[in-house]
Structure 1
Amino acid sequence: MEHVPACNSRYKDVEYWDERYEKEESFEWFGDLSKFQHLLERHVHKEDNILVLGCGNSSLSFNMYQRGFCSITNIDYSGVCIETMAKRHADCQEMQWLKMDARHLAFSESTFDVVLEKGTLDAMTVEEKDPWNVSAETAGLIHQVLKEISRVLKPGGRFISITFAQPHFRKRLLACYEYGWSVQTHSYGAGFQYFLYVLTKGESLSPEDRALEDRLSNEKDLQAVVHLQEADSEDYLSRIGV
């Protein structure tokens, strides 16, 4: 692929995306709307107020707009992307294009019926070598983004996440009491499967997802205790006179 960076860490750099968007016309992660439209239309209504995170130069928002989903706000942290896409779709008067960081959404609570992302969370986790044990830095980043998504969703609103991450990996990040949503999984694609997660604000986690969240919380608590014990031991040893 022409625009693949030399190392995965560059996917986290806005400079990489600015450079890419200056050269690249369009790119679709995980297929265009036609591949998952049958799933999306079950959970997104034409009258919904929709936020698209990390919109990039994808045609997704425009394709949805053409099908009657007109109230769409697109954000990306690349100013080059936002300027280009705003000019490209200037005739779509009900669509907005805003330069914004997904970690700090400049919207009031309960603003959107739907928050949609396609590949944005994947770009944030691209450096991780072990999907079972995501680094504290990446987990903290994802947590910050998901908290913001939950905050701006209306009660009953849906966060829709489109990804290649399988449920046994991605649910470890999505299934959390703090976000106040349920987790539903769909898949699409022939041969290689992609996944569409629907997280509904105000619904409870399933028993299976509650058990997962409880287990992960216990693991974190145990790791914290072990870390403190190790620190105490080291401090104790440093005070021993020889």
Structure 2
Amino acid sequence: MTRGPQAYGEASYWDERYKQDGGSFDWYQQFSGLAPLLQKYIPKTSRVLMVGCGNAILSEDMVQDGYQEIVNVDISSVVIEAMQKKYKDFPQLKYMTMDVRDMSSFADHEFDFVIDKGMLDSLMCGSSAQLSAAKMLEEVRRVLKPGGGYMLITYGDPRVRLPHLKTQESNIWTVLLHVLPKPGSKRASEKCTWDVTAPIPVQEDDGFSKAYSVDDPDLHYVYICVKAQEPAKASSKGVKHGKGK
């Protein structure tokens, strides 16, 4: 049965999809493309939450690189059961069935970093997109420790993603932007003309440097949202404006 994008927020859609496709698939970017940013912002000792993990191998690759604790959640019990079985000998990896719009199983300030590779995009393509996105981002902010960060890997340029990331409710964090070439694209085949680890200012209206075009189909956008420290409980743990160590 074929179902449209409006079903992307439903567990039944993803259960059926993962029943039909038992292989591994990394949305947008693989570890090799993200490694410079992961290493820049996320200390290996961080407690990381991977939202909408699917059957991607990014978490496995991160463990191989030295990351010590990654909790992976997905709305599909089918894929979570498969990943629990696949990674039963990886004590660094935990898999849980969960809707990112309600992560009440987690306490406030439980994670140092949240990674989102396509999860917000999926909700934005589904029904009640605005409400779903707002609920998810509210939960992400809640479970993050002060000084922690949310890494959003998306096809959404600043015009369409910043309004969600820089709402009145989300002014507790600072947003940094990085741009990566899409794997297999013309941009990727050419020598990179910019430093992917250098954040791009997003304070201006267009939120973008003249070196890039928001209409460029060969780009992915990585937003680093750094949660503000609580004045009375300032901690050195977590990211601080682009310095993860």
TM range (shorter): 0.7 to 0.9
Q: Structure 2 residue aligned with 1:193, among 199, 219, 223?
A: 219
Q: How far apart are residue 7 of structure 1 and its match?
A: 2.0
1:69-148 aligned within 5 A: 69-105=67-103, 106-127=105-126, 137-148=128-139
Deviations 1:178-210 (A, max 9, x none): 23111111010153100111000007xxxxxxx
Q: What amino acid sits opposite 1:152 in the alignment? A: V
TM-score, normalising length from structure 1? Answer: 0.75
In structure 2, what is the equivalent of residue 35 of structure 1?
33
After superposition, what is the alpha-carbon deviation per residue over 1:28-65, rounded to whole angstroms, capped at 9, x for unaligned?
11121111211221111100000010100011111111
CA–CA separation in structure 2 for the residues paired with 1:101 and 1:10: 14
Choose from 43, 46, 54 the match for 2:52.
Answer: 54
Structure 1 residue 154 and structure 2 residue 155: aligned?
A: no
Higher RCO (CA-CA < 8 Å; seq separation 6+): 2
1:130-167 CA distance string (max 9 Å, x none):
xxxxxxx3212111111111011001000111011001
Contact 2:7 2:126 survives alignment (8 Å): no
For the residues of structure 1 that align with 2:10 and 2:174, how far apart are their CA atoms?
A: 31
CA distance in 1: counterparts of 2:112 and 2:168, whole angstroms: 20
Report what 1:175 is aligned to.
166
Runs of 4+ in 1 over 4 A off after TM superposition: none
Give the structure-2-normalised TM-score.
0.75
Q: CA RMSD in A?
A: 1.6
Deviation per CA, 1:104-147, whole angstroms, max 9, x where unpaired?
A: 1111111100011100011111158xxxxxxxx32121111111
Call closer, same or farther: CA 1:100–1:84 in 2, change over 3 Å: same
Aligned-pair identity (%): 34
CA distance in 2, matches of 1:177, 1:67: 37
Give the C-alpha shift of residue 176 in structure 1. 2.1
State how far apart, in whole Å, the 2-side matches of 1:11 and 1:109 are: 27
Cα distance in structure 2, aligned partners of 1:31 and 1:71: 21
SS in 1 for 2:8: helix
Deviations 1:54-110 (A, max 9, x none): 100011111111111121000011100110001111111121111111111111111
Structure 2: 5+ residue runs without aligned partners? 188-217, 230-245
Q: Which residue of 2 aligns with 1:184?
A: 176
Instruction: Tell me the amino acid that sits aligned with residue 187 of structure 1.
Output: V
Task: Give the equivalent residue in structure 2 for 1:12.
Answer: 9
Match of 1:207 in 2: none
Classify the secondary structure of the residue corresponding to 1:139: helix
Q: Is the 8 A contact 2:149 2:227 kept in 1?
A: yes
Structure possessing the higher radius of gyration over alpha carbons: 1
Measured in 2, the distance between the counterparts of 1:200 and 1:153 equals 9
The residue aligned with 1:132 is: none
Distance in 1 between residues matched to 2:145 and 2:222, nearest whole Å: 20
Write 1 or 2 for the structure with the bigger share of helix.
1
Aligned residues: 192
Q: What is the CA distance between 1:12 and its match in structure 2?
A: 2.4
